[in-house]
Structure 1
Amino acid sequence: MFEQNISSAISASLAAMSLWEVAAVILALAYLLLAMREKISCWYAAFASTAIYLFLFWDVSLLMESALQVFYLIMAVYGWWQWRNHRDRQDNLKIHRWSAKTHGMVIGTTLVLTLLIGYLLERNTSAALPYLDSFTTLGAVVTTYMVTRKVLENWLYWIVVDGASIYLYLDRELYLTAVLFMLYLVLVVIGFFQWLTIYQKEKLEKALISTPAPQTSAAIQ
């Protein structure tokens, strides 16, 4: 009986699903696939998807998620500018890593702000799942910035944020978006290993360039 109710709810949701949600999901997926390949066009897809989700999340009372989309719009422009500005320069923006200290500060600050904002939302608004909504929003803010700066560990952060987001969207009956984030969990793992390979290759090339060539006996004489 329980499974039948779940199946009926999903069927009803799919039947009433907005074409806007379908478009947003397709564009969001395109963004991630392009970002995995370090394609600057990923930011165009991100901007369009975000603009749609801004209204979708507001409609289902996910206030922080809706506010997050405004940040995403800004970061899509910033990310495009960062990648484009460094693309043809000698000091090209490379994939790099943050120190353990930086990660600790970022994670700690995110958790404290999650509790603070979640509490304020719970007391003063009608926001659904205020603490989880706050966590996924703040986590996405940090992780999106990491993508614009090509920080390798952004993919690991996304695993946590996307996993939490799945429950959030299921609760709000945004089933297609929840499925998208399930797919994201697979893609971010692939993305991590792709960027890790690039990072290791660039690190090796840099080490070889900085290593002085051995002098020959003729040069010594």
Structure 2
Amino acid sequence: MSDLFSVETIWFTVLGYPMSYLEFIGTIFYLASVVLIARKNVLTWPVGIVSVILYLLLFYQFRLYSDAIEQIYYLAASAYGWWFWTRVGSRADSGLRVGFSPLPVLLRWAGVTAVLSVALGFVMTRVHEWAPAIFPEPAAFPFLDALTTVMSLVAMWLMARRRIESWVYWIIVDLLAVGIYTAKDIRFVALLYVVLLVIAVRGFLYWRRSGVGGAVEAEGLDSRAS
């Protein structure tokens, strides 16, 4: 791995904390993508792709394997979101406005999140035994990391579909992430998630005000998401 992409390559020190190029640049791009998506700006997706690649390298080196694997999904989801937002934005009759999903859809996603979090957490407790060449050390916080990973995956999909409840997922993820990254001594990323928590709350309020049309029809949403 190039020294530039190693967490051991320090750019500068802040209050005694060594800041790597990887952590700093990845965090700046990620923060920019969140600010953009809170304003419903399509540039959030290409900016986010850069942060995803950098964070994949960062989390892998800190043994946050669920988070690292999550970034691969983000690459695909970001590409989809970029395409989808561009397509919908050019179609005035698309009918897919910002809004909440119907209650059955909300409950279904909550159930999916719970089941997948437990399953992924179990896998992460054994992944270093099953694939030691790729994951040489035991995963850190396997179940908690799995929960934030699955919730992030669901939130990313819901956000690409312009669902307001995506911000509720992000708020919970940000709260948990502050604790995880503080415990792993990834301080700049932990601080980022404090900022992201504020942005998520503001994003939720902004999208809710924008979603005057209410929830989209369940059948229409499901047919496009399948």
Partner of 2:192: 180
Task: Output the CA distance in 1 between the equivalents of 2:70 and 2:127.
Answer: 19
* Equivalent of residue 123 in structure 2, options 120, 123, 128: 120
Task: Output the CA distance in 2 between the equivalents of 1:153 and 1:190.
Answer: 13
Task: Output the CA distance in 2 between the equivalents of 1:161 and 1:30.
Answer: 18
Partner of 2:150: 138
* 1:159 aligned partner, one-letter code: I
Partner of 2:30: 28
1:198-209 matches, cutoff 5 A: 198-200=210-212, 202=213
Cα displacement (A) at 1:120: 2.5
Structure 2 unaligned residues grouped into runs of 5+? 1-13, 129-137, 215-226
* 1:55 aligned partner, one-letter code: L
Task: Output the CA distance in 2 between the equivalents of 1:118 and 1:32.
Answer: 27
Task: Output the CA distance in 2 between the equivalents of 1:79 and 1:72.
Answer: 10
Identity of aligned residues (%): 30
Task: Output the CA distance in 1 between the equivalents of 2:124 and 2:164.
Answer: 32
Partner of 2:44: 42
Task: Output the CA distance in 1 between the equivalents of 2:35 and 2:125.
Answer: 36
Aligned residues: 191
Higher helix share: 1
Instruction: Give the structure with higher Rg (CA).
Output: 1
Task: Output the CA distance in 2 between the equivalents of 1:153 and 1:118.
Answer: 24
* 1:118 aligned partner, one-letter code: G
Structure 1 unaligned residues grouped into runs of 5+? 1-9, 204-221
Indicate conservation of the 8 Å contact 2:99/2:208, yes or no.
no
Task: Output the CA distance in 1 between the equivalents of 2:101 and 2:93.
Answer: 18
Q: Deviations over 1:45-71 (max 9, x none)?
A: 110111100100000000110000111
Indicate conservation of the 8 Å contact 2:121/2:143, yes or no.
yes
* Equivalent of residue 108 in structure 1, options 101, 108, 111: 111
Indicate conservation of the 8 Å contact 2:152/2:173, yes or no.
yes
Cα displacement (A) at 1:124: 4.0
* Equivalent of residue 63 in structure 1, options 62, 65, 83: 65
* 1:89 aligned partner, one-letter code: R
Task: Output the CA distance in 2 between the equivalents of 1:192 and 1:27.
Answer: 21
Cα displacement (A) at 1:90: 2.1
Task: Output the CA distance in 1 between the equivalents of 2:158 and 2:93.
Answer: 18
SS of residue matched to 1:17: strand
Cα displacement (A) at 1:91: 2.3
Change (3 A) 1:81 1:129: same
Cα displacement (A) at 1:187: 0.8
Cα displacement (A) at 1:42: 0.7
Partner of 1:170: 182
SS of residue matched to 2:211: helix
